[in-house]
């Protein structure tokens, strides 16, 4: 039986679990349409953030040799952004936007914007198993920390977070057929699953979810979608996950899967300036 997954932003990847079922997206799509978003619909099951509710959220317009894409990220220090490996693989340059609310509005006064090509991908990143989907971007100029641009604390320790409310955010699609990024930053909350609960949701998740993953329930048709990749999952103001992949449809109420931050704390510290 085919396994129906997609990586949220997949242009450069070979088909992974089943060649017929993997939904390969054209990454050009988000970038070319970035000035053309007219949707007033919401993230899958979510709602508009209030201005600067999430001052650590980062927007990334990424150029690759043949394609472009949009991803999320989180500011973890004034010099470093945490995002997904699958966003960074093959990246030539990244246009980094801090302090945004309407990502399509370049005139926002509290924005900070710069281009960088300095990044590092986790050495264990594996696009065939979706393992270690994590990376760091280094800013050329330190971010100015103020009311609109702030860092987020990363989770540490051994808590599984199962049963707690997790909040994921981003400017990604609000429904499967959307053809642009979403202007206003969206967020949605749901309970975090234990990994066993996650695997029980759908046979396709079995054998894929390991201890380096963390799942958010998709109940109520809530979750992330293309364009949210690399963004944070937050519990009580602490980042516990990085948006990685989900079931083929964003509207199937299936769990959203994240890289589990606590499994990568040492690597993040070694490769950034947080301690
Ligand atoms: C976002 O900004 C763009 C560019 O200024 C504008 O056209 C669009 O209407 C704004 N979207 C919303 C939802 O305000």
pLDDT tens sequence across 77-108: 999 999 999 999 999 999 999 999 999 999 99
Per-residue CA distances from 264 to 152, 164, 177 (Å): 16, 20, 33
More confident residue, 5 or 46: 46
Q: What is the pLDDT of residue 19?
A: 26
Known catalytic residues are 86, 133, 229
pLDDT-based confidence at 65, cuts 50/70/90?
confident
Which among 160, 140, 114 is positioned nearest to 261, based on CA atoms?
160
Determine the average pLDDT of the residues in 153-177.
Answer: 93
**Strand stretches in the chain, DSSP E:** 5-7, 47-48, 57-64, 68-75, 80-83, 91-98, 112-116, 118-121, 135-138, 153-154, 165-170, 186-193, 213-216, 232-235, 238-247, 256-260
d(CA 171, CA 45): 13
Q: What is the pLDDT of residue 177?
A: 81
CATH of 47-271, one of 2.40.10.120, 3.30.450.30, 3.40.50.300, 3.40.1130.10: 2.40.10.120
C-alpha 184 – ligand 1 centre gap (Å): 8
CB 114 within 8 A of CB 58: no
Which among 95, 74, 240 is positioned nearest to 152, based on CA atoms?
74
Query: pTM for the full model?
Result: 0.86
Pocket test for ligand 1, best of 183, 184, 185, 186 (most atoms within 8 A of CB): 183
Q: Which atom of ligand 1 is nearest to the CA of 184?
A: 13
For ligand 1, atom 4: residue with the closest CA? 105
More confident residue, 93 or 179: 93
* Structure-token pair, residue 114: 């710069």
Task: Report the greatest alpha carbon distance in the chain.
Answer: 52
CB 235 within 8 A of CB 189: no
Strands 91-98 and 153-154: unpaired
């Amino acid at each position: 039986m085919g396994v129906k997954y997609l990586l949220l932003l997949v242009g450069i990847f070979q088909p992974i679990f089943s060649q017929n079922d993997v939904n390969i997206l054209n990454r050009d799509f988000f970038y070319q349409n970035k000035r053309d978003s007219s949707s007033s619909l919401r993230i899958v099951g979510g709602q508009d953030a209030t201005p600067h509710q999430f001052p650590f959220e980062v927007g990334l317009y990424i150029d690759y040799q043949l394609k472009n894409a949009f991803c999320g990220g989180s500011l973890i220090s004034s010099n470093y952004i945490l995002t997904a490996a699958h966003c960074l693989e093959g990246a030539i340059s990244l246009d980094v936007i801090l302090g945004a609310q309407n990502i399509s509005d370049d005139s926002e006064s509290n924005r900070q914007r710069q281009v960088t090509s300095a990044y590092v991908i986790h050495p264990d990143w594996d696009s065939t198993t979706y393992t270690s989907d994590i990376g760091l971007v280094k800013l050329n100029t330190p971010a100015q920390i103020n009311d609109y641009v702030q860092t987020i604390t990363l989770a540490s320790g051994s808590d599984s977070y199962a049963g707690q409310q997790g909040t994921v955010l981003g400017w990604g699609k609000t429904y499967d057929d959307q053809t642009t990024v979403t202007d206003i930053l969206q967020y949605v909350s749901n309970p975090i699953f234990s990994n066993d609960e996650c695997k029980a949701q759908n046979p396709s998740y079995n054998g894929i979810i390991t201890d380096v993953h963390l799942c958010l329930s998709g109940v109520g048709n809530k979750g992330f979608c293309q364009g949210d990749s690399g963004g944070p999952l937050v519990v009580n103001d602490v980042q516990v996950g990085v948006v990685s992949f989900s079931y083929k449809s964003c509207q199937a109420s299936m769990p959203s899967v994240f890289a589990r931050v606590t499994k990568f704390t040492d690597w993040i510290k070694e490769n950034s300036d947080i301690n």
